[in-house]
Amino acid sequence: MEIRVTDTQLLDWAGDSLAIGLFEDAVELTGDLATLDQKFAGLLTELIAEEEFKGKLASSVGTRVGGTATVRKVILVGLGKKEALKLDTLRRAAANAARTAKKQKSKTLALSLPIWNNDPAQTAQALAEGVQLALYQDNRFKSEPEENSIQVEQVDLLGLGGQEAAVSLANQICSGVILARQLVAAPANSVTPVTMAETATQIASEHGLQIEILEREDCEKLGMGAFLAVAQASDLPPKFIHLTYKPEGTPKRKLAIIGKGLTFDSGGLNIKGAGSGIESMKMDMGGAAATLGAAKVIGQIKPDVEVHFISAVTENMISGRAMHPGDVIKASNGKTIEVNNTDAEGRLTLADALVFTEKLGVDAIVDLATLTGACVIALGDDIAGLFTPSDTLATELEKAAQIAGEKIWRLPMEERYFEGLKSGIADMKNTGPRPGGSITAALFLKQFLKETTWAHLDVAGPVWADKENGYNNAGATGFGVRTLVHWVLNEA
C-alpha cells in the first residue's frame, strides 16, 4: 500500500472512496462540503439525515455515490467535539475510514481530515499510522488467506502536500509495530528463543546494528542464576539478546531498553490452572517484541543517541529439571532469591537483564514486561502501568506515550510493600501477597539496580486486544514500540 500526500482539493479528487471528517454537532455542510453536496445531488445531506449522523467519536457512515461523479463512494467519519480533538482521534478516524473503504471494496482512498494543533507533520504521520495499522492482516498461519477481497492500494492525504517525511517516518514506525505484532501473535511452537535471536540478528544486519547473543554458557559465566533457573526446564536453549545502535560520532545520550522475553509461560511447577489463560501465554514476550520492534525503527531513523536493546529470552516450562517451588537461586549481582512461586518468572529473567544493562553505563533504562495479572486488574486491558523512582523519566515517558497514542499510568513504588518479599532463607522472595502485586513486582526489579535512572512498564494488558478497537485489530497490538521510539527521538 502506498500513502501519498497531496494538495489536491476535496472537490478535485478522483478515485474509489472519499472519507470526510466531521465534528460532533457541526455536521451542517458549508464551503467546499456544500459544493460537493451539490455535485453529488444532495447525497451528503441525505446521508446525514437518513443515518442520523451526528459526528460522534468513532462513528462512520458510507454510501455509493453513483451517477457521473469521479468518486465512487463517500465515507463520513465522526471526530467528536472540536475542542477535544486529539492526535489519536485522527489516527483512529483514519483507521475507521480505511476499514470502511476496505468493506466498500475500494482500491483508492482519500482522507479529508482536519489538521491537529496547526501541525501538518504530526497530522500526516498519525493518519499514515492509523491507516496502516488498521489494514494490517496476518494470514501467516492460514493455509489459504481468509478472504481474497480487494485491498486498499493507495491512500491520499488531502491538504497535506509536502509532508513526505512525516509519512516515511510513519512507515518506519509501522514496520516496527507490525514486527512486534507478528512476534506476539505467533504461537510458541513458531516463535522460540532461537527464532527471537534470529530475528534480532536479521534486524542487526538489515539496519546496521551491533549484535551479541549470549548462549547458556556465557550466561553461566556471568552468574545469571536467575535467568538460567527459569530456562532450565526448557528443551530449547536460552538466548540473551543484546543489540546496540550507535550513531556516528559521540552520542548525546546512551539509553537502554529491556523487554521480558518469555516465548511461553506455563507457570512452571506452579502451573497455570484452569481459567488462567495459559493458552494466551505465547504473548509473554510482548516486551521483547516491542524492544525488537523499536530496534528496527531506530535502526532506520538513525537518531543521535546510543541505544541498547536487551532481552533474556526463554520459556517457562516443566520437566524433571524444573525449578522446585522453594528453590533458592542467585542472580548475577550476588543477591539470593527464594522462588516461592515459579510463575513469577519474568522478574527473575529481568533481574539478570537489569544487572547486565547497568554495567553498560547508560543514562537511563526502560523495561517493558508482561509482568503481572495484577496490573491488568488495576488498569484494564488498554493501559500499561508505569513504575519509576524518577519523576523526570516518568514525565519523559508520559510525553512520549501521549504523542504515540499509547496509554500509560504511573503507579506508586510504595517501599513498605517490599516487606511482603521478605524471605526467611534468602535475601528476598520472588512473590509477595496478592494485593499490590504489580507494585511488589516493580520493587523486586529495583533490587537489581544500584543507581541508574530506570522505569518499568507493565504491559500485561495492552499487548493483546480481545476486540478490534481503533487502529488495533483483535490480537497482538504491538504496544510499546511507538512510545519507545518517541522517547528515544525526544532524547536525541
Task: Determine how many CB atoms are found less than 10 A away from the CB of residue 458.
Answer: 31
Q: Is 345 annotated as a binding residue?
A: yes
| 460 is an interface residue for ligand BES by CB under 6 A | yes
Per CB under 6 A, the segment of 161-169, 214-222, 368-376, 390-398 that binds ligand BES is 368-376
| 182 is an interface residue for ligand BES by CB under 6 A | no
| 344 is an interface residue for ligand BES by CB under 6 A | yes
The minimum distance between CB 342 and ligand BES, in angstroms, equals 8
The minimum distance between CB 377 and Mn ion, in angstroms, equals 15
Among 343, 358, 396, 406, binds Mn ion (CB under 5 A): 343
Three-state DSSP at 28 gives coil
19 vs 10: CA distance, rounded Å:
10
| 268 is an interface residue for ligand BES by CB under 6 A | no
Give me the residue whose beta carbon is nearest to Zn ion: 265
Catalytic residues: 272, 347
* Nearer Cβ to Mn ion (338/343): 343
Among 357, 372, 472, 477, binds ligand BES (CB under 6 A): 372
312 vs 219: CA distance, rounded Å:
10
* Nearer Cβ to Zn ion (286/293): 286
| 346 is an interface residue for ligand BES by CB under 6 A | yes
Q: At what angle do helices 120-135 and 164-185 cross, to 10 degrees?
A: 30
Q: Which residues from 216-275 bind Mn ion, rule CB under 5 A?
A: 265
The minimum distance between CB 369 and Mn ion, in angstroms, equals 11
| 346 is an interface residue for Zn ion by CB under 5 A | yes
CB 261 within 8 A of CB 312: yes
Helices (H), 192-280: 193-207, 216-221, 225-231
Q: Is 427 annotated as a binding residue?
A: no
**CA dist list (Å): 307 to 361, 395, 491:** 11, 19, 11
Among 284, 306, 367, 458, binds Zn ion (CB under 5 A): 284
| 458 is an interface residue for ligand BES by CB under 6 A | no
Residue for grid cell 486488574: 377
Q: Is 25 annotated as a binding residue?
A: no
Question: What does 437 bind: Mn ion, Zn ion, ligand BES, none (CB cut-off 5 to 8 Å by kind)?
Answer: ligand BES
| 431 is an interface residue for ligand BES by CB under 6 A | yes
239 vs 129: CA distance, rounded Å:
32
Residue 196 CA neighbour count, 13 Å, CB half: 44
Indicate the Cα dihedral angle 441, 353, 174, 95, nearest 10°: -10
The C-alpha cell that represents 69 in the structure block? 461523479
* CA-wise closest residue to 326 among 340, 336, 316: 340
Question: What does 374 bind: ligand BES, Zn ion, Mn ion, none (CB cut-off 5 to 8 Å by kind)?
Answer: ligand BES
| 16 is an interface residue for ligand BES by CB under 6 A | no
CB 331 within 8 A of CB 428: no
Q: Is 284 annotated as a binding residue?
A: yes
In the stretch 313-342, what mask flags binding to ligand BES with x, by CB under 6 A?
A: ----------------------------x-
Task: Determine how many CB atoms are found less than 10 A away from the CB of residue 238.
Answer: 24
CB 132 within 8 A of CB 169: no
Q: What DSSP assignment string belongs to 371-413?
A: --HHHHHHH-SSEEEEE-S-HHHHHHHHHHHHHHT-EEEE---
The C-alpha cell that represents 471 in the structure block? 487502529
Among 88, 129, 265, 491, binds Zn ion (CB under 5 A): 265
* Nearer Cβ to Mn ion (345/367): 345
* CA-wise closest residue to 410 among 477, 460, 445, 457: 457
The minimum distance between CB 309 and Zn ion, in angstroms, equals 20
Strand partners, 476: 464
103 vs 98: CA distance, rounded Å:
9
* Nearer Cβ to ligand BES (127/463): 463
The minimum distance between CB 238 and ligand BES, in angstroms, equals 16
Among 370, 388, 472, 473, binds ligand BES (CB under 6 A): 370
* Nearer Cβ to ligand BES (225/286): 286
Q: Is 138 annotated as a binding residue?
A: no
For ligand BES, the binding residues (CB under 6 A) are: 265, 284, 341, 343-346, 370-374, 376, 431, 437, 460
Please enumerate, by residue number, every residue annotated as part of a binding site for Mn(2+): 260, 265, 284, 343, 345
Q: Which residues bind Zn ion (CB under 5 A)?
A: 262, 265, 284, 346
List binding-site positions.
260, 265, 284, 343, 345
